[in-house]
Structure 1
Amino acid sequence: MTVDDGMDLDNPLLENSADFAAVPDAFQRLWTPHRMVYIQDGQQPHPDDCPFCLAPAMDDEKALIVARGTYAYVLLNLFPYNSGHLLVCPYRHVATYDEASPEEVAEIGSLTQTAMRVLTQVSNCDGFNIGMNQGRIAGAGIAEHLHQHIVPRWALDSNFFPIIAGTKAIPKLLGETRREIADAWPNDEG
């Protein structure tokens, strides 16, 4: 009832690429239809339901917040690409970088620098992917609230698991990671 790639042949919602006319390529694909809610027109959360607007009102531990500044804050990504994947968000509900105030831009930059130092200290990472997806078409999961990704990278963090199994292994729990980063965050910043 399953094939070697782990697909359940009895599930009518699963598709097998061998069923379609195509020329195979070297890419594995991770189909994530549950993410459609983030990219369909009209499916962005209402500002009253925006997770980046709600998080600052919550307890830091529950919201996964590691540091707070005056204009922006830092929290763990609930769906990380790597352990320690952080987001820097302005408190104000703005969608794009050009809508952010000079104070917000400066603090997002400062918090990003501190996050890089802290992640290097606590995780011994070898590098970072840092970026912002601006708008739904650019891949922003929550397009209506600006957020910058800081993804720590290691020399050997890419292995067979995501490629063969379509799964990313995260070695630490979010709560443990949040605690380590928050504890290492300098008291005079954020």
Structure 2
Amino acid sequence: MTDGAAESSNDFAASRDAFQRLWTPHRAVYVGQGQGAHDDDCPFCAAPGKGDEEALIVARGEHAYVLLNLFPYNPGHLLVCPYRHVSTYDRATAEEVAEIGSLTQTGMRVLTDVSRAQGFNIGMNQGNVGGAGIAEHLHQHVVPRYSGDSNFFPIIAETKAVTRLLGDVRAAVADAWPGESSLGAERRPSTGAPNP
């Protein structure tokens, strides 16, 4: 291809739209876990049946639980999930909504105490087109934010600097959670698994 042909090809590609794209194929495995998932193969349904350390669970409530995101945006990135396999917020029960809200508030307080978070991004991506990685099971993100936590690394070097190991973060958050971080069987939903 001549230099002129290469330039016109680049001009054509650039004229289609002005967006630059950052391809993240490493997330496909995580995203694919939720595609067409049902209770049997849903990671958020499976997590409560595992031990807290293995599942990265930091707290268990009656209707919902809190775990660390396996692919955190920042250390301490929490997910608040109902135990019940429900896809969207409008299908959650009043009890699930209340506990998701309460666990979210507690998570913010704990992360502020444990890691001195200076702000938060809180939200739910609903459905595949809404950006949900696991669209079939409702989950709320609680992302702690810090001054200067964004830099050029993710864009230029395709690298995210995460300063703490997941196991260390899980232990610190679970230890700081008020009350029992892993509630007894009397308040845990029946999963058939022994209390870790």
Deviation of residue 116 (structure 1)? 0.1
| Pick aligned residue for 1:77 from 69, 88, 93 | 69
Q: Is contact 2:35–2:136 with CA below 8 Å preserved after alignment?
A: no
Q: Give the partner amino acid of 1:182.
A: A
**Unmatched tracts of structure 1, length 5 or more:** 1-17
For normalisation by structure 2, the TM-score amounts to: 0.80
Pairwise mapping of residues 16-27 of structure 1 onto structure 2 (< 5 A)?
21-22=13-14
**Distance across 1 between alignment mates of 2:128 and 2:29:** 11
Q: Is contact 2:76–2:169 with CA below 8 Å preserved after alignment?
A: yes
Q: Give the partner amino acid of 1:33.
A: P
Q: Does 1:137 align with 2:91?
A: no
CA pair 59-21 structure 1, distance change in 2 beyond 3 A: same
Report the number of matched residues. 173
Match of 2:39 in 1: 47
RMSD: 2.7
Match of 2:115 in 1: 123
Residues 139-163 of structure 1, C-alpha deviations (whole Å, 9 max, x = no match): 1011000000000000110112113
**Distance across 2 between alignment mates of 1:39 and 1:114:** 27
Match of 1:109 in 2: 101
Deviation of residue 46 (structure 1)? 2.8
Match of 1:96 in 2: 88
**Distance across 2 between alignment mates of 1:155 and 1:84:** 15
**Unmatched tracts of structure 2, length 5 or more:** 1-9, 184-196
Match of 2:53 in 1: 61
Q: Give the partner amino acid of 2:57.
A: I
| Pick aligned residue for 2:169 from 177, 182, 185 | 177
Deviates most, 27-36 or 133-142: 27-36
For normalisation by structure 1, the TM-score amounts to: 0.82
Q: Give the partner amino acid of 1:74.
A: V
Match of 1:15 in 2: none
Kindly name which structure, 1 or 2, has the bigger radius of gyration based on alpha carbons: 2
